[in-house]
Amino acid sequence: MKIAAAQFAPTADVRDNLARAEALAEDAAAAGVGLLVLPEESMVQTGLVTGSLAPVADDHWAEFSDGLRAIAARHRIALIASGLEPSGTPRPFNTILAVDSDGALSGSYRKLHLYDAFSYQESGRVQPGDELPPVVQLGGVHVGLVNCYDLRFPELTRSLVDAGAEVIAVTAAWMTGRNKEDHWSTLLRARAIESTTWVVASGNSAPDCVAGSKIIDPMGIVVADAGEPEVGWCAAEVSGDRTAQVRRVLPALANRRIDLAYTVRPKIFIKAAVNGGRETAETPLVPLTPAEIAAEAAASVRAGADVIHAHARTANGGQTIAPEHIAAMVRAVREEDPTIVVGTTTGLWTCADHADRMAKIEAWEAEWLPDFASVAFCEEGAAEAAQAVLARGMVLESAVWSMDDVPALLASPTLHDNVRVLIEPLAEDPDQAVRDCREMAAALRAGGVTAPLLYHGLEGTTWPVVRAAIADGVEVRVGIEDVVSSEDGAIASNSIQVAEALRIYAELHATTA
């Protein structure tokens, strides 16, 4: 079959984009092309849409889907293109549609790997899919679907080849940047070489994307390249005979010794805040000693937590950031499991004043430094404390508790050094706490924050805020520091709370699948 990869720069107008796609399809069909791969965001260029993408998806997904099917049937050419599919939440799916030459929908794929890299946060506006991409049949050829950032995950492409894909179709809006064009070309060839399969890649040609649509044969040879024009396409005869020839010479798939089972894990980042300032009178499950904290940290990670936040405690149970107590806690966690990522507070309430806080941070033992430390920007000297955390070689996360804190964080010289920004609403009413989270999140994004955001509530707002965080695609915090019970009110350990967050994730995603 003759297959083509096209490129164009979509606009914010869905009808205009369909017209552009049809012009390319008509041209390719006239040249004998049987399958045309169109770029990511063919439905709408998301960078041209302000605010939530959900209204665009809700209003235009059916129009886009029906339009692709009509174009395919009219010109007797199979099409692959991506757009915004409603999810029932403020974040739609980034979905590839595969349409056969008779206009029938052969399959679809909701993008698994969202582009949360290079200071970009796709998950802030898009919901990830939960299923492996399918292999669809178009014109008698088995085609696997890959969407942009997926290209960096070779196991995804290998899953498609193992499922029978003869061709890997990549639809992308590969962003420009240092080394990015080289990554695009290298990764496309690598996916072809390692799986000895054809790769047909369509690149969005918007000003911030590299374009460079290509067709690569199973030996990794670029046999067609559309180059840099804003509108164009390249084509090649994709032959099963060539695949068989390459696999006789290079039987890499047959030579494999490792069996793989492909599953999709939940896309949720969970921080377990294992103790805070809780006392045993509030819950007997709160860990206080270094050994107890280490055991809870390990249990929480086994349950699914990504990182641990813990407060060192004195012999009488008080919170402290004194060097000897921080060292004892970190050492205990590392001896329990050296792979655990553990952080702590720099809260002023643990010190006499800001000067005392600075002295203590500077005195933390280099051998037993936490992996990260949190700084609340509602406190005096927050910017200086944040600089001290970085100067000591730790990872920084900053926190805002209300809209009043946002300007101080945005003005901080460490703003772009944060691994994440915590949003911790003070409201006791759950609905208000969720509204406050979203207001602060919008202000932070408008102010230029590109780091991941994390919501967490306190007491009665904890679980409603967890649900909002999952719905909004931001990071989640649970644990005894925030609440002592699971969502149903039963006293719960940190590990049970982590499992509860994963259950809520599965529940919410089951309702939008």
pLDDT digits (tens, 9 = 90+) for 138-183: 999 999 999 999 999 999 999 999 999 999 999 999 999 999 999 9
pLDDT for residue 510: 77
pLDDT tens readout for residues 419-468: 999 999 999 999 999 999 999 999 998 898 888 899 999 999 999 999 99
**Which comes out higher in pLDDT, residue 512 or 374?**
374
Q: Is 148 a catalytic residue?
A: yes
Is residue 417 within 8 Å of 396, Cβ to Cβ? yes
CA distances from 442 to 207, 218, 437, 438, 439 (A): 25, 46, 9, 6, 5
Which pLDDT belongs to residue 367? Answer: 96
pLDDT on residue 508: 87
The one catalytic residue in 111, 267, 271, 360 is 111
Which member of 22, 40, 122, 166 is catalytic?
A: 40
pLDDT band for position 51 (50/70/90)? confident
Mean pLDDT for the chain? 96
Comparing C-alpha atoms, which of 496, 449, 498 is closest to residue 477?
A: 498
What is the pLDDT averaged over residues 363-370? 97
pLDDT confidence of residue 513: 52
Residues forming beta bridges with residue 414, ordered by sequence position = none
State the Cα–Cα distance between residues 202 and 37, nearest whole angstrom.
6
Within 10 A of 430 (CB to CB), how many other CB atoms are there?
19
Predicted confidence (pLDDT) at residue 70 exceeds the cutoff of 80: yes
Residue 265 pLDDT: 81
> Is 233 within 8 Å of 6 (Cβ atoms)?
yes
| Active-site residue flag, 214 | no
Report the percent of the chain where pLDDT is more than 70: 99
Length of the chain: 513
Contact between 146 and 170 (Cβ < 8 Å): yes
**Directed axis angle between helix 354-363 and helix 382-391, to 10°?**
10
Please report the pLDDT score of residue 451 as a whole number. Answer: 87
Distance CA 247, CA 166 (A): 12
- Choose the catalytic residue: 148, 209, 351, 437: 148
- Distance CA(394)–CA(386), nearest Å, equals 10
Q: Could you confirm whether 336 is annotated as catalytic?
A: no
- Summarised one tens digit per residue, pLDDT across range 206-251 is 999 999 999 999 999 999 999 999 999 999 999 999 999 999 999 9
User: What confidence score (pLDDT) does residue 511 get?
Assistant: 59
- Helix 494-510 to helix 290-303 angle (10° resolution) is 20
State how far the Cα of 127 lies from the Cα of 273, in Å rounded to an integer.
26
Nearest alpha carbon to residue 169 among 55, 42, 59, 255: 42
8-17, 67-76, 81-90, 347-356 — which is least confidently predicted? 81-90
